[in-house]
Amino acid sequence: MSVTITMPQLGETVTEGTILTWVKQVGETVAEDEIIVEISTDKVDTEVPSPASGVLTEILVGAGETVEVGTALAVLSDDGGDAADASGDDAASAPVDETSAPHAEPVSADAPSGTPAAEQGEPGDTSRRGVLSPIVRKLANENNVDVAMVRGTGDGGRITRKDVEAFIANRQSGSAPEAAPTPPAPAPAPAAPSVPAAQPATEATPPPPPPAPAPVAAGGGGEVEEISRLRTRIANNMVNAKRNTAHVWTSVEVDFERVEQTRSRHKAAFKQAEGYSLTYLPFIIRATVDALNAYPVVNSRFDLEAGTQTFNRSVHMGIAVDLDQKGLVVPTIRDADSMTLKGAARAVRSIATKARASELGPDDYAGSTFSITNPGPFGSFMSAPIINVPNSAILSTDTVAKRPVVVEMPDGSDAIAVHHVGYLGLTWDHRVFDGSTAVLFLNRIKTNLETWDWEQELS
């Protein structure tokens, strides 16, 4: 009896995943709920447990391949089948994890006919060339690629996503793509020379493996390093957001003096009770939630292709979290519109701590209706962030600092005072609403921060 492991649904919005590493290899025993594979999605990297116990008899999708949810990844057998006890030719045909299992350096088609197949990297093995993942098939169709011309580097000659992308890149650069390998015709064995009995005449010495690649020195004396998976996801998301939305930026100046006075009175007691400092961000979240309720179009989702606009009933707040300068992620605080100021502070603290400890799953990064990024603690003056698609807008909260402002005295005269002042910037999608809405929305937040009785929020 066997069990087929498929690509799981790792989140409500996740449709595909990339195999990072097979933790278990063919022939190894796997316990139920034991981690068997690591998968990367557009949201986060995830360890996937085995749904059953057994022996891993076949790996259907190699490391580095991207497949859709529901695609068969591997096969478990309760007795291990024939793969666990295979030897000779059967063992050579068993799939392996290309990222961790050692393999011989491929030899060109001109290698002596006496060289064993394993030492040649089995260039004639095309038993799995026709096995294409949905992602590979879609990529080939969209780019008018004849897969018969693509060299497959996967197990059994299987064509991977990287193979198709390399073919497309070669075609665009004008270089001749390398055709798919075909098994060479058997050549008559040459006459065996006189050799010592300890070394058969038909056995050739395989070439030594290449040395491990060293960092490539850049022209300016630096080193070239591989881009991390997180940075790749960020890069793709940012480019797609700029390409598919009409970005406009608007800002307002906010007098945070009333907020600052409340913080000063309660910060010692708050830190003693909660274990962390009371920042400006929870105040801004509370003021923003009210503004989103007043201007629901800012909290909407716009789908031009479908011809629809969804006005969200709840506010699910995305909060940008810096991972110690190694990347930026945006987990979601669900139902932020139902939270008090203390509740918002606790929620921000919780998701930031879990994000930095890699304790959040794909669903924790999905479903936001509006987002806030907070570069202020790093000393920013004004920021114009990129929209966290599919949101229609994102708010930036910059540094609050003491500045001279004009205030009206009780007798109606004006005076100069030193207040805590900061700037709020809104990047918004001009396809969804217009400048008047953006300014009114920002001024609603500004008015809330400057006039609300914040004392009752912490009492």
CB 127 within 8 A of CB 99: no
Fold of 1-102: OB fold (Dihydrolipoamide Acetyltransferase, E2P) (2.40.50)
User: Which residue in the list 33, 78, 335, 434 is annotated as catalytic?
Assistant: 434
The Cα–Cα gap between 153 and 358 comes to: 32
Six-digit token string for 394:
């994102």
Q: Is the pLDDT of residue 22 over 50?
A: yes
Q: What is the pLDDT of residue 348?
A: 97
Q: What is the pLDDT of residue 105?
A: 39
User: Among 24-38, 136-150, 429-443, which stretch is predicted with the lowest mean pLDDT?
Assistant: 136-150
Question: pTM here?
Answer: 0.64
Annotate 125-145 with DSSP letters as a single string: --TTTT---HHHHHHHHHTT-
The Cα–Cα gap between 281 and 349 comes to: 11
Q: Which residue has the tokens 């949201």?
A: 43
Condensed to tens digits (0 to 9), the pLDDT of residues 96-139 reads 344 333 333 333 333 333 333 333 334 455 555 666 665 677 77
Q: What is the pLDDT of residue 95?
A: 37
The Cα–Cα gap between 48 and 74 comes to: 12
Condensed to tens digits (0 to 9), the pLDDT of residues 393-441 reads 999 999 999 999 999 999 999 999 999 999 999 999 999 999 999 999 9
Q: How far is CA 104 from each of CA 120, 207, 331, 380, rounded to the nearest angstrom?
A: 8, 9, 43, 53
| Per-residue confidence band for 156, with pLDDT thresholds at 50, 70 and 90 | low
Provide the mean pLDDT of the chain: 81
CA angle 319, 320, 325 (to 5 degrees): 155
The pLDDT of 289-302, averaged and rounded, is 97
As a CATH number, domain 246-458 is 3.30.559.10
Helices 341-356 and 281-294 sit at what angle, rounded to 10 degrees? 110
37 phi/psi in degrees, rounded to 5: -155, 150
Are the folds of 1-102 and 105-182 the same? no
Q: What is the pLDDT of residue 303?
A: 95
Question: What is the 3-state composition of the chain as percent helix, strand, coil, each rounded to the nearest 5?
Answer: 30, 20, 50
The pLDDT of 170-185, averaged and rounded, is 61
| Per-residue confidence band for 169, with pLDDT thresholds at 50, 70 and 90 | confident
Six-digit token string for 253:
């100046």
What is the domain class of 105-182 according to CATH?
A: few secondary structures
430 is catalytic: yes
CB 310 within 8 A of CB 300: yes
Of 59, 54, 37, the C-alpha closest to 1 is 54
Dihedral angle sign, alpha carbons of residues 64, 65, 67, 72: negative
> Bridge-partner residues for 240, per DSSP?
none
- The residue extents of the domains of the chain are 1-102, 105-182, 246-458
Q: Is the pLDDT of residue 18 over 60?
A: yes
User: Which residue in the list 78, 90, 335, 430 is annotated as catalytic?
Assistant: 430
CB 392 within 8 A of CB 297: yes
Condensed to tens digits (0 to 9), the pLDDT of residues 357-385 reads 989 888 899 999 999 999 999 999 999 99
Q: What is the pLDDT of residue 179?
A: 53
303 is catalytic: no
Condensed to tens digits (0 to 9), the pLDDT of residues 194-230 reads 444 444 444 445 556 556 555 555 556 789 988 888 8
The Cα–Cα gap between 433 and 296 comes to: 11
Condensed to tens digits (0 to 9), the pLDDT of residues 70-104 reads 899 999 887 644 443 433 344 333 333 443 333 33
